[in-house]
Structure 1
């Protein structure tokens, strides 16, 4: 009995240890997915997968319109957003709150459903400041050209996709998808990383019957819902399509998570043409990463050594003696081979040449263009330009959306850029916005563009004072603010710009003395122009300034003026009070006049009566006896 208890206890301990060491089977987190139905005012769900597309709100400018779908593979959405050239040459979707990670960004294009619009606009597309695609003529009739897709890293919480007009119609965007993929998806070697973008150039499913997405294949969501274009043959009568219903091992695995169904069809060469060869057009002098997919699903090949072949890319052997069963470990097992090469010409050709066995086989092909990610413009300088844009009321036609310096093919109008090796960022070294109808004022934020060497804002309608902060741009060599409406005085700080060679402040409304530090440099081979400012003085060619007063003297005069003014005010108040008192007295006197007059007459009568009695008494006294007798 004791032995049984010990055995039971031992089994219980083993079970506890197993459960402790066994990894958790909790469900894996779903990847982040953000889909936008461009131009839509409400959220949309599309069949057959009930996919959610968010409404298009507060992401960009442009104008909503009804969409005309270009191909059968685009999402079944009914609206789009287009960007007239009058609204600017570049427009961007800025999508925030995107967690840091690795993402597949896909943009679908469409046509405006209006006969008055040009049927097929041609424009450039950039993601995160890097141009990834230029729409070719005829894109609206080809499935694989009706969208642009790229793998990018996101580290700042936002994704920016921009559309750049090339003068051939207004860009029109049907939808934008931002789909998270594995952090090491499509790793191809030491050069891979955040400094590179992989643009999908072609993705083919051999032997497939119709266009399919990963979702259609019931693929893992971490694959990024890739689109696979079917190809049933690489040439007339030179190959055939085969398929199987058997399951494929090692298919949907990290980091790329290819759908199993991708390996259940393939193209196999025939006796008449043993080689399999596929060619596609590419841009010259670019790097391309090529991913080749194999699974031995041909029942005629049962073991190692029965099918061996070389793989050539543009005539050079990329892989030698490929034996699918040997490399994958078994039949019906996925094998992926990758090679990244530089292509000098305009054609990329992949050839599979059998060495053992008569036939070649391939299941799928992926080709990515490897694009160096552009370094962005220094963030504080971008914010300074945005402040300048708002303060000067820049017209829409100038654009100023996205990044000022990248893509390098589409910098902002009127902005000159220079790459700063210290910060590995682009900086602004010139502003040329003369005669652009600018209004408003020049903000102090312009001093944050501390790499500026040249500023030309002449011929506009800019008002207000010249900001003293300009004096902190130590490398400034040219400052042209002529033919505007600047007022007030010239800042003393401009005198500290020792690199300044050209200063044009003529034809404004400036006043006061020209700073001594500027006036003293007129003999040092510089070009300064202060003319046609009625209030300026102090240098040859301008009126002579009055006596110079120190700051203390100016303060003393100001205080004296204030004191005199206060004394005048007090005197006026006293005079006014005295006048009011006089008027009040006269009013009272006028009101009491009848009583005063009557009293005066009474007093006078009494006095006269008294005087008359006194006189009679005196007469009587003096002459009394005679009068009695």
Structure 2
């Protein structure tokens, strides 16, 4: 898809006023903030993912500092690079200024694409026209942001280096340009914003203000060559209803107009892309003081041969009042959009004309998977050369991130694509680990991180039902194998040559039993079935089992108590604090008992002696 690049400029001037709460004006390639001739502040270059600073070859050709610097993205920064601007959710006017001016001394303007919010919007192809290459061009659009970041991404064609000189992001009313009809899932790309009966004006052309930072281009070059009797009308009177929400069309737009002689036709031919839809916005104001009544000026609006409406400006809004009408031309069959104002009574009149391509949002990656992939990029220390920036899978006509494969979601009506394969084996990834967010990749079928220098423990939710192939071999992963890898769908599990430990989950062995491949060798502290070493008694997958830990704890407490008791006894004996004799009361009682026992024993002995001699005493004798 190739879009029209709009404004060809020799002198670029930046807007000074905006009614929006959020405004970023980024001077790409500049290390410092600056203020232009109209007191607009440009911030130093920021929010980019890679690239290098550049300077145009003829700085004196440009009056403003933000016109002279640029950022370019060499292939060493990856095929895909972005500006990621943090903003609240809402609708935004986004404008880029692009210039080449032989900044690299190669005299070869680059080929590249530009996307906004993961949707392709501009295509630059070499060679550029001499005027655009040396003087630059504006391109702008309206887009919704729903994830807190305005993403403007650049994709290199072949090995060319994309360039950008300035980037503006301005928040606008969410209801602007009939968003209720257009919807939030489309981008309005400017294919012509024309002022009738006036020279170029507004940001980029003059110090005339437009609250939404729009620039207005003279309509003269777009008038049909067959048009006759065209003349201009101008006024300095105030125009009622101008500068009103949600579109804030400026009053200056309605203070000039073109008209014709009696029975003349106003005729425009605008270049467009076939098979696309376009939003056409026409602006009127009756600024001719000789036309004061209804019915004096009546004309039909005809677009591509279709008579769509009849306009009587005074009937709609009266004199010196702004009036706008818009229409969506769908599925054009040619590369020209023809707009005619055909008189019914009097001569037709037109103050301004806008034409926007309605570009449907490209299919994109689910937000949770984008979050997971950005977390993986950081945790794995993925190098810039791999171009892991923006949406991993979109726009779909671009290659996905290097090493990443995407497939349409199971829900085809969702407009989403899912990440199915990640293959970054042998990429020199060092010192990183696997982010816990990997569990958000619910459609991941294959993960290959082999032959890098990654470490840390394996996330607990690394495995899920979709995962079929896992290769983490030849790294430095530590800890135990998570139970989540006991998925019945796994056909390949390569965890060899790491630093894993503990008992292998029993269900993981089913991979080999069912014809798959499993390799756990080279982890000296793993235990389980051969060829792994046997796990000790009471040994679990993470070392000691719960029962083993309880047994060790009880034994430790018992041993501690013995040592403590022995220590106390030893200390007290050293201090002579112990007397092993009986207490005094018990000793006295024992002595009496012993005396009684001795007397009893003597009597018994005496009786035994007498019995032995045959003498039995007569106890009854007196």
TM-score by length of 2: 0.73
Kept in 1: contact 2:469–2:492 (CA 8 A): yes
- Offset, 1:227: 0.8
Structure 1 residue corresponding to 2:95, chosen from 102, 106, 113: 106
* Pair 527,270 (structure 1): closer, same or farther in 2 beyond 3 Å: farther
Kept in 1: contact 2:300–2:307 (CA 8 A): yes
- Offset, 1:352: 1.9
Distance 2:301 2:58 in 1: 39
1:265 equivalent in alignment to 2:256: yes
Residue 115 of structure 2 corresponds to which residue in structure 1?
A: 126
Residue 307 of structure 2 corresponds to which residue in structure 1?
A: 317
Distance 1:84 1:33 in 2: 28
Residue 502 of structure 1 corresponds to which residue in structure 2?
A: 492
Distance 2:481 2:436 in 1: 16
Aligned pairs for 1:360-509 (under 5 A) are 360-373=348-361, 377-410=365-398, 411-417=400-406, 418-419=408-409, 427-445=418-436, 447-457=438-448, 459-464=450-455, 467=458, 469-482=460-473, 484-486=474-476, 491=481, 493=483, 496-505=486-495
Residue 94 of structure 1 corresponds to which residue in structure 2?
A: 84
Question: Deviation per CA, 1:567-624, whole angstroms, max 9, x where unpaired?
Answer: xxxxxxxxxxxxxxxxxxxxxxxxxxxxxxxxxxxxxxxxxxxxxxxxxxxxxxxxxx
Greater relative contact order: 1 or 2 (C-alpha under 8 angstroms, separation 6 or more)? 2
SS of 1:167's partner is: coil
- Offset, 1:155: 5.3
Distance 2:101 2:321 in 1: 46
Bigger radius of gyration among the two: 1
Distance 1:72 1:296 in 2: 39
Kept in 1: contact 2:434–2:456 (CA 8 A): no
SS of 1:262's partner is: helix
Unmatched runs of 5 consecutive residues or more in structure 2:
1-17, 540-544, 561-622
Residue 275 of structure 1 corresponds to which residue in structure 2?
A: 265
Kept in 2: contact 1:440–1:461 (CA 8 A): no
- Offset, 1:366: 0.3
- Offset, 1:69: 7.8
Aligned pairs for 1:349-368 (under 5 A) are 349-357=337-345, 359-368=347-356
Kept in 1: contact 2:286–2:318 (CA 8 A): no
Residue 328 of structure 2 corresponds to which residue in structure 1?
A: 340
Question: Deviation per CA, 1:435-477, whole angstroms, max 9, x where unpaired?
Answer: 4333334425254334143233255323446615255433312
Unmatched runs of 5 consecutive residues or more in structure 1:
1-27, 567-629
Kept in 2: contact 1:471–1:496 (CA 8 A): no
Residue 611 of structure 1 corresponds to which residue in structure 2?
A: none
Aligned pairs for 1:65-214 (under 5 A) are 65-67=54-56, 77-96=67-86, 98-111=87-100, 114-137=103-126, 138=128, 141-142=131-132, 146-154=137-145, 157-167=148-158, 169-187=160-178, 190-213=180-203
Question: Deviation per CA, 1:65-118, whole angstroms, max 9, x where unpaired?
Answer: 21358998998632111111211122222223x455432111111226535345
Distance 2:471 2:433 in 1: 13
Distance 1:140 1:395 in 2: 36
Aligned pairs for 1:534-573 (under 5 A) are 543=531, 545-546=533-534, 549-551=537-539
- Offset, 1:56: 1.8
Greater CA deviation, 286-295 or 249-258?
Answer: 249-258
- Offset, 1:367: 0.7
SS of 2:165's partner is: strand
1:64 equivalent in alignment to 2:53: yes
SS of 2:460's partner is: helix
Question: Deviation per CA, 1:285-333, whole angstroms, max 9, x where unpaired?
Answer: 32211101123345665543333322222222222x2223323323x43
Distance 1:68 1:464 in 2: 47
Distance 1:430 1:29 in 2: 46
Structure 2 residue corresponding to 1:36, chosen from 26, 38, 43: 26
| Length, aligned pairs only | 526
1:230 equivalent in alignment to 2:218: yes
Distance 1:217 1:486 in 2: 61
Distance 2:83 2:301 in 1: 42
SS of 2:56's partner is: strand
* Pair 538,204 (structure 1): closer, same or farther in 2 beyond 3 Å: same
Kept in 2: contact 1:496–1:517 (CA 8 A): yes
Kept in 1: contact 2:436–2:461 (CA 8 A): no
Greater CA deviation, 135-144 or 467-476?
Answer: 135-144
SS of 1:312's partner is: strand
* Pair 325,508 (structure 1): closer, same or farther in 2 beyond 3 Å: same
TM-score by length of 1: 0.72
Kept in 2: contact 1:103–1:152 (CA 8 A): yes
* Pair 185,72 (structure 1): closer, same or farther in 2 beyond 3 Å: farther
Greater CA deviation, 300-309 or 197-206?
Answer: 300-309
1:46 equivalent in alignment to 2:31: no
Distance 2:65 2:254 in 1: 25
Distance 1:226 1:72 in 2: 21
Distance 2:130 2:165 in 1: 12
Kept in 2: contact 1:66–1:113 (CA 8 A): no
Distance 2:261 2:63 in 1: 31
- Offset, 1:203: 0.6
